[in-house]
Amino acid sequence: MALYIKAAEILEKADKKRGALKTLVYDSKFANIKQLFALVCETHKFSSILQEIIESTKLLKQTKLQMHLAKVLVYDLLMGQGIKCGGSWKAMMMKHRSRLQAELARMKIKRKVSRNEDLLPASVQKLGGDKLPRYVRVNTLKTTMEDTVDYLKRDGFSYQGQASRLDDLTLKGKDFVRDMHLPDLLVFSPKTHFHDHFLYKAGHIILQDKASCLPAFLLDPTPGSHVIDACAAPGNKTSHLAAIMKNKGKLFAFDLDAKRLATMSTLLLRAGVSCHQLANQDFLKVDPDSPQYKDIEYILLDPSCSGSGMVCLRDDTSDPEKDQDRLSSLASFQLRCLNHGLRFPRLKRLVYSTCSIHSQENEEVITSCLQQNPGFRLVPLLAQWPERGLEPLTQCLRASISKTRTHGFFVALLEKHSEGEDTVRQDQAVHIKNTEVTPHSPPDGEKRPAASEDESEASETEDRQTPAAGQTDSTPATKKKKRKNRKKKKKAATVE
Ligand SMILES: C[S@@+](CC[C@H](N)C(=O)[O-])C[C@H]1O[C@@H](n2cnc3c(N)ncnc32)[C@H](O)[C@@H]1O
């Protein structure tokens, strides 16, 4: 019952313009944020249809329910999971179920459509939230890509090989592919449900949007290194970082919200993460000069944002003036977090991300940060990624439903540079890593869309020749080479 009460409260507050849906969900301190998020999101999306059903069946009069609560219950009964909680509400809703179902069926006949989604107003359908593929990250702390693919094939899914272009991510039925950009990512048709699947329950797979997998993948901390996840809950990126670090090293994860951290702790346990240390702490108050953080080399900063990139939470009815105030205060918080992160003495790289489409929270924050921190520069990211940061910050990535089939997202990677080398060579761009390298390569003898093998071979060669800018600093061999070069230069200068 608590879930329905909370969801109704949030929808009412949002209608009264007391905050954006995403912020209200996160601020609710509800234990299962994901579940609440999904219910609020979907009820909000179908709001006008639900209202029509409720009004034409006179549900409020007969049940004395308040409108927002009625919407949440009718959504779950007719379009969602079916009312899960017991108690008086379930009994009451079951009494009205046939009338409500009949009204929904009548609406569909009248509008000559067969799916619930087709009833949505055109403006909502245009956002295409229901058309987003289902992305599944394979948790390499618990399993391998091969084993996961094999398991899913035995479970009735049909593996189509590795995708090579955006259209390959438009899938039907039980078809699935491996993503062309992220090596541990599988892609399924929209609405493929995994919440009750063994692989999900056992922590072998993580349900995570493709764009949200970018930050940890691009930061790419080496196993054994010391890393901070500054605003970490509910922890999807934390578990991704731990997988990349192979659970070796130290992963400090901070979040202000104790409840979200508690949920995160359970998720990390299920994902087999063991290199982490969680702290219910304001990241801005973490002392960069404290001895325990002296070896921090990598930071992932995914701070609170407007959430305007989350397809289902886009709010067309918001007040532009209030929005501007909110964006300014978010941007100033985000810049403070960034500046704070860059103060860690041994920091090499910091990845910054938001699920916002507003330049105020993205390119403008990064521009101000670079002006205030001349010792850092942007790393050009994934040359093959189809959507770039707004000019002139084209080193950064953007993501959107139309260009990348993901939620709206922004990522920037900052790295420390030493004096005298302040121009970034384009050929140092972080390229998509070879996705054929074991243990992630797909099982042999499988169907792949044409050209994928050649392309991945090419990217492997590029990777070897021109590794990511930050990575060049970290290998002993290149360090030695650099020292040698510097000595040579010095010698030449003396001779001259
Ligand atoms: C966008 S969410 C992070 C999502 C997370 N990175 C993930 O992938 O699962 C932002 C988080 O920042 C937390 N937060 C906000 N201000 C903070 C601060 N000053 N210090 C630490 N965490 C903060 C919020 O509680 C929220 O959980």
User: Is residue 416 helix, strand or coil?
Assistant: strand
Q: How many domains does the chain have?
A: 2
- The residue from 104, 127, 150 where one domain ends is 127
122 and 242 in a single domain? The answer is: no
> Is 234 a member of any domain?
yes
Q: Over 80: is that where the pLDDT of 88 sits?
A: yes
Residue 34: its pLDDT value, please?
76
Same domain, 281 and 373: yes
Among 107, 127, 147, the domain boundary falls at: 127
Can you tell me which residue has the tokens 């910091």? 350
**Span 122-146, mean pLDDT?**
82
Cα(228) to centroid(ligand 1), Å: 12
* 288 known ligand binder: no
Same domain, 93 and 239: no
Name which residue leads in pLDDT, 2 or 290.
290
The pLDDT of residue 19 is 66
- Helices 47-56 and 33-45, packing angle to 10 deg: 70
In the chain, % of residues over pLDDT 90 = 60
CATH number at residue 271: 3.40.50.150
| Angle separating helix axes 47-56 and 67-78, nearest 10 degrees | 100
* pLDDT for the residue 487: 46
| pLDDT band per the 50, 70, 90 thresholds, residue 481 | very low
Asked if the peptide bond before residue 439 counts as cis, ω within 30 degrees of 0, the response is yes
Q: pLDDT at position 457, please? A: 20
Give the relative orientation of helices 47-56 and 87-110 as an angle to the nearest 10 degrees.
100
Q: How far apart are CA 88 and CA 67, in angstroms?
A: 17
Residue 186 is assigned to a structural domain of this protein: no
Say whether both 234 and 99 belong to one domain. no
Task: pLDDT band for 86, please (50, 70, 90 cuts).
Answer: low
Establish whether 233 is an annotated binding residue.
yes
Q: What is the per-residue pLDDT for 459?
A: 24
Interacting residues of 482 by C-beta distance below 8 A, sequence separation 6+: none
Kindly state the average pLDDT of the residues 354-371. 97
Confidence of residue 493 (pLDDT cuts 50, 70, 90): very low
Q: Does the annotation place 282 within a ligand binding site?
A: yes
pLDDT at residue 463 tops 60? no
Mean residue pLDDT of the chain comes to: 82
Q: Over 60: is that where the pLDDT of 443 sits?
A: no
Mean per-residue pLDDT, 55-61? 92
Q: Is residue 28 part of a domain?
A: yes
Residue 494 predicted with pLDDT over 50:
no
pLDDT tens track for 279-316 = 999 999 999 999 999 999 999 999 999 888 887 655 55
Query: Would you say residue 292 lies in a domain?
Result: yes
Does residue 425 belong to any structural domain of this protein?
yes
* Residues labelled catalytic: 355
Give the pLDDT mean for 6-18: 83
Which pLDDT tens digit goes with each residue over 327-340? 999 999 999 999 99
Q: What is the pLDDT of residues 181-224, one digit of tens each?
A: 999 999 999 989 898 899 999 999 999 999 999 999 999 999 99
For residue 280, being part of any structural domain is answered with yes
Confidence band of 80 (pLDDT split at 50, 70, 90): confident
Give ligand 1 pocket residues (Cβ under 6 A): 26, 231-237, 254-257, 260, 282-284, 302-304
Residue 109 included in any domain: yes
* pLDDT at site 431: 53
Mutate to test the pocket of ligand 1, among 304, 350, 351, 362 (most ligand atoms within 8 A of CB): 304
- Determine the structural domain holding residue 80 and report its residue range: 2-127
Q: Are 259 and 365 in contact (CB under 8 A)?
A: no
Using one digit for the tens of pLDDT, what is the confidence trace for 43-52?
988 888 999 9
CA 214 to chain centre: 8
Q: Please, which residues bridge with residue 186 across strands?
A: 136, 178
Of 109, 127, 145, the position where a domain reaches its end is 127
> In which order are the strands placed within the sheet that holds 175-178?
158-162, 175-178, 185-188, 134-138, 205-207
**Residue 232, annotated ligand binder?**
yes
pLDDT, tens digit (0-9, with 9 covering 90-100), for 376-413: 999 999 999 999 999 999 999 999 998 999 999 999 99
**Ligand 1 pocket: which of 231, 305, 354 to mutate (most atoms <8 Å of CB)?**
231
pLDDT in the model for residue 265: 95
Give the residue among 164, 181, 211, 193 at the shortest CA–CA distance from 405.
211
Q: Is residue 153 included in any domain, yes or no?
A: no
Note the Cα 276 to chain centre separation in Å. Answer: 20
| Same domain membership, residue 244 and residue 362 | yes
For the CA of 264, the nearest atom of ligand 1: 9
Residue 378 and residue 281 share a domain: yes
So what's the pLDDT on residue 318? 55
Least confident stretch, 97-111, 388-402, 410-424: 410-424
